[in-house]
Chains A and B, each alone.
With several copies, the nearest count.
Chain A
Amino acid sequence: MRYTQGEYRILNKTAIAKQIYDYTVLCPDIARIAQPGQFVHLLPKGFPLRRPISICDIDAEKGTLRFVFEVRGEGTAELARLNAGDMIDMLAPVGGRGFKINENAKRVILVGGGIGTPPMLPLAKIYGERAVAISGFRCSSMVILQDDFKEMGAKTILCTNDGSMGIKGFVTIPLIEEIEAEKPDIIFACGPRPMLKAVAEIAMENDIECQVSLEERMGCGVGACLVCSCKAIRNGQEIHAHVCQDGPVFNAKEVIW
């Protein structure tokens, strides 16, 4: 596979929550090969480093990718200045290992925390009614993508920390309930590290396959600079794996939390 980097046209931009934007970009070459769990590496103009953002939807026919990001610092603020019609500098698709899809899975649970929710959507698209999409947010003003999950046919469960919308509390509450109701074949998760760790432990206890998408600060995004390391176990050995190339999706068992 060759990597692709260039300027791509933004077709649509929507503000979907406080400081959270939803972009659709025309990039047929990339849309043709992109896989769930991979990400795009976006360059805010004038910055030394790109920003990794998960792919939220892949439409190979229309040749578009969709991603959703929150303004956190100066780089995402600069990216958020771009509007429909503008060009965006994108290196994509990146991520050596996306989600491993088991077509035969009968029931999967998708757990998204905050801005970790977007990469769950391509999975909901694949698994449809076989998926339960549990999403957790700090408060109602940060809730995103719930209608999208419903549209895919997924059972859609919403939690907020402060109870301002949906269930009050963490995603682990409905997760345990759903496991108890019917054990899923796979749990997919993306979100803050403490959440991922909790989900991984629950999966382990219940002996369920669990795939987690990790975050780490990145340089190149393609595996060359070795900055994006995370501690992992492979073949019984402790290694420093690289999130961009060996991930961003890891089997939860490999991760040293």
Chain B
Amino acid sequence: MADLSVNIAGVEFKNPVIPASGTFGYGREYGRFYPLSKLGGIATKGTTLESRLGNLAPRIAETPSGILNSVGLQNPGIDKFIRVELPNLMKQETVIIVNIAGSTVEEYIEVAKKLEETDAHMIELNISCPNVKEGGVAFGVSCDSAAGITAAVRKVTKKPLIVKLSPNVTDIAGIAKAVEAEGADAVSLINTLLGMRIDIRTGRPVLRNNVGGLSGKAVFPVAVRMVWQVANAVKIPVIGMGGVATANDAIELMMAGATAVQVGTAMFANPFAPIEIIDGINEYLDKNGISSVREIIGSVKSW
């Protein structure tokens, strides 16, 4: 049994595998498959100041080795989250990462302030959701706005702050450096790539929102590249995600520079994916005589 623990911004994770925001609700559903305490952590569904209905259905489309989604931040609002969901989450003996979103800087600040009085372990600032009209992704695509919102939230929270980056940009490493400079304790990437499908029988976009976010195995090579670029550009830890479905994928992303990985879309086909990934990483380390998973972080030998 190798040492699977990793440390991100002072927070200890028993292992580096975390279900990704938006694919795991608030943990209740997958908690009916396995004890949540097995997980390294949980990133909750993106939560906003007020409750939101999200976009109209259809909200999902299948693509080659991937999916598009356009949920659009449906959530009960931060107050109800803190009242109803957080207490249950805090009982699960795993790291709770609260993913927050908003349409204005003020909204992000308000949400972060409300979380400051809770026991939640970390905040993940979603400045990269492609499925909301105002705000959301807009903050994530320029260095200035990404830096601005990071600085603003940094002022109101002492909790470790992860900034989640959008892949729909020319220079993701530049944005990572900008948020690092403003006090982000870690970055997570990648959120979804903007995509579209059209049903040629009806001539209509499959998603009612026309476009949606691409995730799943299809995006994995883009995730590896971006994690590698960002890990080479910043000193803070990188949490990698995008198409991770197996232990080998997780190891590859960690070699590229990720300290931990998130797993999303893969759970729709295999609800046990996070558990199998944890077991698989352990097996790999044992087989290769590596005593700690931390040894593989950023270990890629680039040409």
Within 8 A of B (CB), among A177-221: 216-221
Which of A55-63, A121-129, A224-232 is the interface stretch?
A224-232
Instruction: Kindly state the separation between the CA atoms of A104 and B267 in the bound complex, as whole angstroms.
Output: 41
Instruction: Kindly state the separation between the CA atoms of A75 and B53 in the bound complex, as whole angstroms.
Output: 30
Residues of A within 8 A of B216 (CB): 48
Min CB gap A88→B, angstroms: 14
Q: Taking A216-B58, A229-B59 as contacts, is the C-beta distance between A50 and B269 under 8 angstroms?
A: yes
Which of A1-9, A24-32, A110-118, A155-163 is the interface stretch?
A1-9
Let me know if A49 and B57 touch, CB within 8 A: no
Q: Taking A3-B271, A47-B62, A50-B269 as contacts, is the C-beta distance between A224 and B57 under 8 angstroms?
A: no
Question: In this complex, what residue of A is CB-closest to B19?
Answer: A224
Interface presence of A80 (CB below 8 A): no
Let me know if B23 and A217 touch, CB within 8 A: no
Contact of B60 among A47, A218, A240 (CB under 8 A): A218
Interface presence of A43 (CB below 8 A): yes
Within 8 A of A (CB), among B44-100: 45, 53-54, 56-63, 65-67, 69, 71, 74
- Chain B residues touching A, majority SS: loop
Residues of B within 8 A of A222 (CB): 29-30, 32, 271
Let me know if A5 and B58 touch, CB within 8 A: no
Let me know if B268 and A220 touch, CB within 8 A: yes
Size category of the A interface is 20 to 34
Interface presence of A165 (CB below 8 A): no
Min CB gap A97→B, angstroms: 15
Question: In this complex, what residue of B is CB-closest to A96?
Answer: B29
Min CB gap A257→B, angstroms: 13
Let me know if B71 and A224 touch, CB within 8 A: no
Let me know if B69 and A219 touch, CB within 8 A: yes
Interface presence of A98 (CB below 8 A): no
Size category of the B interface is 35 or more
Residues of A within 8 A of B267 (CB): 220, 224
Instruction: Kindly state the separation between the CA atoms of A239 and B56 in the bound complex, as whole angstroms.
Output: 11
Contact of A217 among B22, B54, B61 (CB under 8 A): B61
Interface presence of B220 (CB below 8 A): no
Instruction: Kindly state the separation between the CA atoms of A121 and B56 in the bound complex, as whole angstroms.
Output: 31
Let me know if A226 and B67 touch, CB within 8 A: no
Interface presence of A91 (CB below 8 A): yes
Let me know if A49 and B67 touch, CB within 8 A: yes
Let me know if A5 and B272 touch, CB within 8 A: yes
Q: Residue among B59, B67, B69, B217 with the most chain A CB within 10 A?
A: B59
Interface presence of B195 (CB below 8 A): no
Within 8 A of A (CB), among B145-188: none
Residues of B within 8 A of A3 (CB): 29, 32-33, 271
Instruction: Kindly state the separation between the CA atoms of A231 and B208 in the bound complex, as whole angstroms.
Output: 13
Instruction: Kindly state the separation between the CA atoms of A2 and B25 in the bound complex, as whole angstroms.
Output: 17
Instruction: Kindly state the separation between the CA atoms of A91 and B216 in the bound complex, as whole angstroms.
Output: 19
Let me know if A229 and B74 touch, CB within 8 A: yes
A-B pairs with lowest CB-CB distance, top 4: A224-B25, A227-B60, A224-B29, A227-B59
Write 23 A-B pairs (CB below 8 A) sorted by A numbering: A2-B32, A2-B33, A47-B62, A48-B66, A48-B265, A49-B269, A50-B268, A75-B62, A217-B60, A219-B23, A219-B60, A220-B268, A221-B268, A222-B30, A222-B271, A223-B29, A226-B74, A227-B58, A228-B59, A228-B60, A238-B53, A240-B54, A245-B29
Question: Which residues of B pack against A, CB within 8 Å?
Answer: 22-25, 28-30, 32-33, 45, 53-54, 56-63, 65-67, 69, 71, 74, 216-217, 265, 267-272
